[in-house]
Amino acid sequence: MKKYVLLLFSLLMVLTPSESLGNELTKLKKRYTKREVMITMRDGVRLFTSIYEPKTKEPRPIIMRRTPYSCEPYGEEFRENLVDEWKNFSDANYIIVVQDVRGHHRSEGVSEHMRPLNKNRQVRGGTATDEATDAYDTVEWLVKNTRNNGRVGLWGFSYDGFYSMMGGLSRHPAVVAVSPQAPCVDWFIGDDRHHGGAFTLLQTFDYIPQTEGRYRYTKEIYNKVIRNDVYTDLLKAGTFKDVTAILDDPTATFWHNCIKHPDYDEFWKERDLRRSCYDVKPAVLVVGGSYDTEDCFGAWELYKAISKQSPQTESYLVMGPWWHGGWAVRDYTGYDHFYFGKGTTNYYLDEIEFPFFNYYLDGKGSKPMHKVTSFFAGENKWGYFDEWPQKKVEITPFYLHQKGVVSLEKPHVGNSFTEYVSDMEHPVPFSPEPEDHRVREFDDQRFAAARPDVITFVSEPLTDTLRIAGEIEARLFAAISSTDADFVVKLIDEYPDGYRNSEEAERLMERNRSQMGKFQHVVRAEILRGRYRNSYERPEPFVPNMITPVNVRMNDATHTFLPGHSVMIQIQSSWFPLFDRNPQKFINTYTCSIEDFVMKENIRIYHQEDAPSCIMLPVMK
């Protein structure tokens, strides 16, 4: 009985997460002070800035995040992430700065999505501004008005990643290290607003009305439409034109800019962050998640742009097995049923991210040992490279064959194809379950493989380990019955019969041990609006029923297919409502009505000697 009472008392004494967090914040308040200031930019606009300063006489480095998502809490309270996500910096007594960017929350001025670099920003005494000048002016004020060591770092993920890289382009001499994490880089080809020219209906509808216009920072417009699930309700809503009418908000400028700029013109090009990566002065740590459904493209492509345009820059890349922002979640082990091992995020935060900043900002420790650190799911091991794309790969075609076969052997038959009907009244959903938002990662694809409008090709079970590391491209030969179509290609790791996670994996993921035989794990999945198959600037219609090359560029990857697993390729022509429906006709997708749609279209994917569809994989030697 006594033991029982002691045990019960011990359980009652255990702190809840919120109590523990509160205690940590109380401790931090004894070591730090907080002040809020309005910092004036060169054009007179003032930006709201929260500054957390350690109570130490020693000059300390500054680590700053500029964000459109608010530097709340405002007032005396401290940010919670100072004692979890940012704990390494607060433990080391860094000066921590968070700023509302121009036109957001408590900052003055007018916001502009993906505001490009202003060509006149460096005119001496001028008032031309952009995100680089706002970062410069902020840093200039901070180094003069805090007890700092003259070194500043910027960091942040997603949109904050864009702002951190812009700060890295500011040319302020105090900015010596930046870390753009899952940065928005190109909103037409690969990030956020479009992929392969196809409009991200769900994410953009969820995001843009909240960040501008009369619906700003509210869920009013989203909740006006989404009452059941996103598939049902957005299908009912209709076309882009119909959703625009529901939005009924001419002040939502970026939404309407999509209408004004349907193709890849100068509007999109000047917002491509990759075009500005010349002579980058600070060290750069680019970070991304292999299973990030929003900004996987940005991390790979920004690193490659810096490496090419500014080879003298000390730049590094980390790609882990994470969803959007997963690298900031301590003790992350995986998602859904996919286990990636214990401690991938702890390793990144403690052994890569903080040492990177500590070396460049505080002169302690050492710089990263490798240029590129990327996780190989399957083996659940980190890989290390000194260049990217790396050269020790053999670009290998995995060919499609009749009867749904994938093989290294090129087809030698004539008149061979697999056909499906793309039906825009019943588009392929992106998730097997009803969802009220987009998902952070892709689930088991067996639900898609069971549909008649998704064609699947699979290899024999592998007899040896297959490692890929690099760029991936699907090279299809297609014929369609109308003048336009989307092409969605998925590279999948199919698990063997009877596969089960280990007991340890299920315990750490807090799941009952599950049967995963024939699980279809998405390695890469991407879409191309077919009209852009030859040029994003100059779209072209298809000639109906003519065999036409269609190359779908997919994001880079590192992955290991283990023996017994199979290489699977799925192809479909809708992915709703992750992306808007293609009207399956060469017309403007932003202004057309549902009456303009070709609802059912026949699509053939050829696998014959003179039209050998395949996926090109970077196989490690």
Report DSSP letters for 546-607, one per residue. --EEEEEEEEEEEEEEPTT-EEEEEEES--BTTSPPP-SSSS-TTT--GGG---EEEEEEEE
- pLDDT score for 5: 42
- pLDDT score for 513: 65
Asked whether the predicted pLDDT for residue 8 surpasses 60, the reply is no
- Label residue 33 by pLDDT band (50, 70, 90): very high
- pLDDT score for 13: 45
* pLDDT (average), residues 229-254: 93
Asked whether the predicted pLDDT for residue 16 surpasses 70, the reply is no
Domain ranges of the chain: 393-620
Q: Does residue 148 contact residue 93 with C-beta atoms inside 8 Å?
A: no
Higher-scoring residue by pLDDT: 439, 566: 566
Beta strands in 79-192 (DSSP E): 95-100, 148-157, 175-181
The model's pLDDT over 519-562, given as tens digits with 9 standing for 90+, comes to 999 999 999 999 999 999 999 999 999 999 999 999 999 999 99
The model's pLDDT over 224-238, given as tens digits with 9 standing for 90+, comes to 899 999 999 999 999
* pLDDT (average), residues 21-33: 92
Asked whether the predicted pLDDT for residue 97 surpasses 60, the reply is yes
- pLDDT score for 14: 53
Residue with tokens 């970062």: 135
Helices (H), 226-329: 230-237, 240-247, 253-260, 266-269, 296-309
Residue with tokens 């890469």: 524
Helices (H), 312-432: 344-348, 354-362
Centre a 10 Å sphere on the Cβ of residue 417 and count the other Cβ atoms it contains. 18
Q: Does residue 361 contact residue 175 with C-beta atoms inside 8 Å?
A: no
Asked whether the predicted pLDDT for residue 241 surpasses 90, the reply is yes
Which residues pair with residue 606 across a beta bridge? 417
- Label residue 178 by pLDDT band (50, 70, 90): very high
Asked whether the predicted pLDDT for residue 166 surpasses 60, the reply is yes
Please state, in angstroms and as integers, the Cα–Cα distance from residue 387 to each residue in 25, 316, 371, 395, following that order: 41, 9, 6, 17
- pLDDT score for 423: 98
CA 229 – CA 238 distance, rounded (Å): 15
The model's pLDDT over 477-508, given as tens digits with 9 standing for 90+, comes to 999 999 999 999 999 999 999 998 888 777 77
- Contacts of residue 601, defined as CB under 8 A and 6 or more positions apart, other chains included, come to 421, 422, 480, 481, 482, 485, 573, 584
* Superfamily (CATH H level) for 393-620: Galactose-binding domain-like (2.60.120.260)
Asked whether the predicted pLDDT for residue 6 surpasses 60, the reply is no
Asked whether the predicted pLDDT for residue 9 surpasses 60, the reply is no
Q: What percent of the chain has pLDDT over 70?
A: 96
- Label residue 159 by pLDDT band (50, 70, 90): very high
Q: What percent of the chain has pLDDT over 90?
A: 81
**379 alpha-carbon distance from chain centroid:** 23
CA 362 – CA 364 distance, rounded (Å): 6
Report the candidate in 352, 342, 351, 566 with the shortest Cα–Cα distance to residue 449.
Answer: 566
- Label residue 124 by pLDDT band (50, 70, 90): low
Q: Compute the mean pLDDT over every residue in the chain, rounded to the nearest whole number.
A: 93
- Label residue 4 by pLDDT band (50, 70, 90): very low
- pLDDT score for 505: 78
Q: Is the pTM of this model over 0.75?
A: yes
- Rg (C-alpha) for the chain, rounded Å, is 25
* pLDDT (average), residues 608-616: 98
* pLDDT (average), residues 47-76: 97
Asked whether the predicted pLDDT for residue 138 surpasses 90, the reply is yes
Asked whether the predicted pLDDT for residue 441 surpasses 90, the reply is no
CA 585 – CA 593 distance, rounded (Å): 12
Q: Does residue 168 contact residue 175 with C-beta atoms inside 8 Å?
A: yes
The model's pLDDT over 199-220, given as tens digits with 9 standing for 90+, comes to 999 999 989 888 888 888 888 8
The model's pLDDT over 400-417, given as tens digits with 9 standing for 90+, comes to 999 999 999 999 999 999
- Label residue 512 by pLDDT band (50, 70, 90): low
- pLDDT score for 213: 83
* pLDDT (average), residues 286-306: 96
- pLDDT score for 12: 41
